[in-house]
Amino acid sequence: MGERGGARGDLERGERGGFERGSDRGDSSFRRASGGFARGRDERDSGRGGRGGAAADRGGFRRESGRGDSERGGFRRDSGQRGDSGERGGSAEGWEDRRRGGEGAKGGRSLDRRPARPEEPDLPDEVQASDLDSTVRRDLLSLDKGNAETVARHMVMAVQLLEDDPELALAHARAARQRAGRIAVVRETAGVTAYHAGEWAEALSELRTARRMSGGSGLLAVMADCERGLGRPERAIELGRSDEARALSGDEATELRIVVAGARMDLGQYDQAVVTLQTTDLDPSRTGSAAARLFYAYADALVAAGRTAEGLEWFLNSASADLDGETDAEERAAELTGE
């Protein structure tokens, strides 16, 4: 694997929580909050760039940090810290203890009269099915009412915990999948959550299944980055050449190009990585998250290709575009100038 070349992006939470679907109902992708993949140095080598979760280590999707839920339209969160089981669903350690029949085995109230399956993490009482985005809830109507409620609550917890405790989030997503494995959005949630937890093979399998069930080319960039995580950059490049990839546009197309460029860099093909990112979107007058991440990826590829002066220019462009401070572009520029 190369040192750099990954891609990160944000998954938008709907107004009522849950991953929010794109406007094209035929496309089962989740919408991104800030327009695509963020891009930073791979944390495995630099210790910077990604923030939280194994997906950040891969240079994959990143959740925004430092924003309140009211700004994101996401779930209501209390101010308790991670591991505050009453408010956040408990820690991974507490979940393991409950699986063994230890203390804290109390579950939340539910219309589902069936006993909780032994591998399911607890659901806090305050987490309700109505917290899930209404578009996603409609996909659960084929389930009986009690099971639909439990599945929805597990999906709420998967999204709520995604940033701070991806392993426990994945446990909730798996519980939802075990109860509703024939519903595409449930498999999508399991795939995205597995991606954040660094379970590349599981994520790829779930996302492939979701695509077979619902069609569309959504989350193709995530699938390509999973191939990179599995040490198969050639397959990531193949996905970038697929018919589905050619059907993408806008930020989704940019996300995939960033992943493909990362795969090229994994293979030491730095000049090709540069060319992959040279599109009309590469406009230094742009600002915002998507632009900042694209410029960062381009700068990184330029530096790797030995074009340091140009790389410095694009790191500075990235820093100017990065209104929310998502990248370490300023630090990278300072490194190159020796400041």
Domain boundaries, the chain: 8-337
What is the phi/psi pair of residue 48, to 5°?
-135, 180
Which residues of the chain have a pLDDT value below 70?
Answer: 1-118
Contact 153, 143 (CB under 8 A): no
- Among residues 279, 274, 243, the alpha carbon closest in space to that of 260 is found at 274
Alpha carbons 174 and 194: distance in angstroms, whole number: 9
Q: What angle do CA 94, 99, 105 make, to 5 degrees?
A: 65
Compute the distance between CA of residue 32 and CA of residue 16 in angstroms, rounded to an integer: 16
Confirm if 196 and 169 have CB atoms less than 8 A apart: yes
**Which of 1.25.40.10, 3.20.20.70, 3.40.50.360, 1.10.3720.10 would CATH assign to domain 8-337?**
1.25.40.10
Give exposure, 69-98, as e/b (b: 16+ Cβ within 10 Å). Answer: eeebebbeeeeeeebebeebbbbbebbeeb
Q: What secondary structure letter does DSSP report for 131?
A: G
Place of tokens 């099971």: 147
- Please state at what angle helix 233-240 crosses helix 220-229, rounded to 10 degrees: 160
Helix segments in the chain, DSSP class H:
43-46, 53-57, 69-72, 85-88, 92-99, 134-138, 145-160, 166-179, 184-196, 200-214, 220-229, 233-240, 243-246, 250-266, 270-276, 289-304, 308-321, 329-337
pLDDT at position 30 is 35
How far apart are the C-alpha atoms of 249 and 87, rounded to whole Å? 40
At residue 270, the pLDDT reads 98
List all residues 6 or more positions away from 316 whose beta carbon is below 8 Å from its beta carbon: 329, 333
For residue 180, what are its two tokens?
């509703």
